[in-house]
Structure 1
């Protein structure tokens, strides 16, 4: 899943506040943008692990453009100079225990899935790709 993250700075601070709007309470403070990107990924993973531990639903990620509009309208002073990024997280480890199932798919579809998985760092396995596609469809 691709989560939007927003970097803001207080007027008298050089530190960056990094927040994940789709995961309320998931935020960190870092000295640099590079550290912020690295650490926010870990923060998202920790946040998702806690949600999974308590049996909470994993929030669906909204689009970056929608977040920008909402935040700028709500607080133009803070978010006018903010910048946004996307962090891609494999959410399958946070969806609960895995179960093996038998699925029948057309050969050409399987080939397309395998091709996509081999060319994309977003998916590690065929099962991960299918789980992500199912999750996206269920969120509609």
Structure 2
């Protein structure tokens, strides 16, 4: 699931991010990239809180619906638009079976060791980065 986000920057401020389909969910960052990375975490945390409180999670609308919503005209003004993936951290792990070329697997293991990570932690981190970027 992906949510449309608005990014704004006022003079002498950081980049702010908000979600028209997720009221109350905001984030910020010193750069656009940092703001978007932080928005991924903010969206995940916001949804986790909604679910914990038993509140419904709003469905995301597509870009055309956001762009044509007259109630968002003021919000869209001066804002950049991006798409932020919802990555739900469920708090549990699942064992999977994947196949890699042996050379790639050796490179993954070597890099994970250099970083003090397990293979699983490295692959999860790489997957998150790929989903967000």
- What TM bracket, shorter-length normalisation? 0.5 to 0.7
Q: Distance in 2 between matches of 1:2 and 1:32?
A: 21
Q: Helix, strand or coil: the match of 2:84?
A: strand
Matched length: 93
Check conservation: 2:2, 2:60, Cα contact below 8 A. yes
1:36 deviation in Å? 0.6
Mark the runs of 5 or more structure 2 residues left unpaired by the alignment: 91-126, 129-133
Structure 1, residues 102-129: CA drift from partner, whole Å, max 9, x if none?
A: xxxxxxxxxxxxxxxxxxx79xxxxxxx
1:29 deviation in Å? 2.4
Taking a change above 3 Å as real, the CA distance of residues 61 and 84 of structure 1, as seen in their structure-2 partners, is same
CA RMSD, Structure 1 to Structure 2 (Å): 2.7
Structure 1, residues 9-61: CA drift from partner, whole Å, max 9, x if none?
A: 22x33421100111100012221101011100000010011011111111100
For 1:102, the equivalent position in structure 2 comes to: none
TM-score of the superposition, structure 2-length normalised? 0.59
TM-score of the superposition, structure 1-length normalised? 0.56
Q: Helix, strand or coil: the match of 2:68?
A: helix
1:86 deviation in Å? 0.8
Check conservation: 2:44, 2:89, Cα contact below 8 A. no
Which portions of structure 1, spanning 4 or more consecutive aligned residues, are displaced by more than 2 angstroms?
Answer: 68-74, 78-81, 90-93
For 2:84, the equivalent position in structure 1 comes to: 87
Q: Distance in 2 between matches of 1:4 and 1:71?
A: 16
